[in-house]
Amino acid sequence: MGKPQQTSQNDGQAQAVNPALVVRQAMNERYRAHVLAVRRAAAARRAAEIAARRAAEQARRSAERRRQAAARRAAISSGTPQQIAAAMLSDYGWSSSEFSCLNSLWEQESGWNPYASNPSSGAYGIPQALPGSKMATAGPDWQSNAATQIRWGLDYIQSTYGSPCAAWSHESSSGWY
């Protein structure tokens, strides 16, 4: 049992193999594999912790943006319809210079009256939505809340024309927007 084993080499000569050395090499390889696995696990934990911190920070920022938007909406909901609309323009990326076009547009359409109703077409509210019930997408109080109607109207203008001045230009040339 203590006698060294022999193996053959490429040159055909036998060389003695030390069993203790073979065992030690195998143990070293297992140890290196274990250390590598521990390091990989630690790296994975660190990556997961970083990802969790980033997700928590992103959620915090998102909640803060929602809180600020709600505060802006609450502040915007007071005042005349014109003041409310003027305050909302920046939410759409428009400068205050767009207000003159919006004022002309909605003055002609409804006189800024949230209860304005066109008996021949059925258009309703400040933006004269047709049918008026479309404005329910902006809020359940669409029939009476000027801010809800204005928000829907500005969404419509942005998606259809890009800006109040473009909508006013269309209204001026065609008689509708």
Instruction: State mean pLDDT over 92-109.
Output: 97
Rounded CA separation 57/69 (Å): 18
The pLDDT of residue 62 is 83
pLDDT averaged over every residue in the chain? 89
Instruction: State mean pLDDT over 107-125.
Output: 97
The pLDDT of residue 26 is 87
| pLDDT value at 176 more than 80 | yes
The pLDDT of residue 22 is 85
Q: Estimate to the nearest angstrom the gap between the alpha carbon of 99 and the chain centroid.
A: 27
- Which of 16-20, 47-51, 80-84 is predicted with the least confidence, judged by mean pLDDT? 16-20
- For residue 19, whether the previous peptide bond is cis, meaning omega lies within 30 degrees of 0, is no
Asked if 109 and 126 count as a contact pair (C-beta separation under 8 A), the reply is yes
Instruction: State mean pLDDT over 114-139.
Output: 96
The one-letter code for the residue type at 149 is Q
For residue 14, give both structure tokens.
Answer: 């036998």
Asked if 6 and 17 count as a contact pair (C-beta separation under 8 A), the reply is yes
Asked if 114 and 125 count as a contact pair (C-beta separation under 8 A), the reply is yes
Rounded CA separation 89/74 (Å): 15
Confidence of residue 52 (pLDDT cuts 50, 70, 90): very high
The pLDDT of residue 63 is 84
Confidence of residue 122 (pLDDT cuts 50, 70, 90): very high
